[in-house]
Amino acid sequence: MKFAILGNTYQTKKSVHLESLLTLLKKYNAEIYIYNDFYKFIVSSTKIPLDNVRTFTVLDFSVDMIICMGGDGTFLKAASFVGNRNIPILGINTGRLGFLADISPNEIQDTIKDIFSNNYRIEERSVLNLVCQDKTIKGYPFGLNEIAVLKRDSSSMITIHTSINGNYLTTYQADGLVISTPTGSTAYSLSVGGPIIVPHSSTIAITPVAPHSLNVRPIVINDDWEITLDVESRSHNFLVAIDGRSETCAEGSQLKIKKADYTIKVVKRTDHVFFNTLRDKMMWGADGRV
């Protein structure tokens, strides 16, 4: 099997986990490719032997699986590398929370064994696509977690006229608006009061950020519907953040958000269940009285 490895370049103390991973992959005679920036970090900051390992800058070749080592941010970066190439991504959590990268370091050995025994499952996660009417989005216009529209350069709220499939929904007076996939429902959307959504529910959540109204609440819609946003701002510009990658848009730029025509394949161990992750990682349902 061929594996491409990406990793967090700020975790020197946790490099021992990478060494364990490489040792295991070599044991199974795997072909190993390491992202060039991560490779340079390993060489400069660790003493991990990298014999028989190749590097890459652009994923323009075929591999069986991407392995990312870090937190969910590293996983999102891996997802942007993969795009519509249908390459499964395995996330090993050496970060903090780890909702997407949910394989703990002490599971590495068993997980690699399961992969070579074909004892794992693939979950398909929907992706959002952003199209800006008046400009080309400079970065990757797809988000696995969310697309957020936010105020910029001013403490004043922005006005977001929102339509669904061409039908007017409402006008938000708020600091911003978060459009999230089910995968992203436990990320930024959750932190601003959005609902937790089961990953395979085929929905999109629309959640305002600090709305100036008591009767505006998050709403969940079908993921095959198109969302149109027209934004007004006193500073005449606003931010668009796609999975944390942000850029400035000018007032008057119309945004259209819809489900992408591809999914991201996430590698899961057979005993990893979404509800267990909610309880273990988020303390969901924990009762301090017990």
Is residue 115 a contact partner of residue 267, using CB atoms and an 8 Å limit?
yes
Task: Take residue 173 and report the two structure tokens written for it.
Answer: 């007076």
- Strand ordering across the sheet containing 146-150: 219-222, 203-209, 176-180, 146-150, 237-242, 245-250
* 3-state secondary structure (DSSP) of residue 61: coil
Residue 263 CA to residue 240 CA, distance in Å, equals 22
Residue 86 CA to residue 79 CA, distance in Å, equals 10
* Best CA proximity match to 100, nearest among 70, 75, 63: 75
Residue 206 CA to residue 192 CA, distance in Å, equals 11
- The residue annotated as part of the active site, out of 37, 60, 64, 72, is 72
Does residue 153 have an active-site annotation?
no
H/E stretch holding 243 reads: none
Is residue 3 a contact partner of residue 118, using CB atoms and an 8 Å limit?
no
Active-site annotation, residues: 72
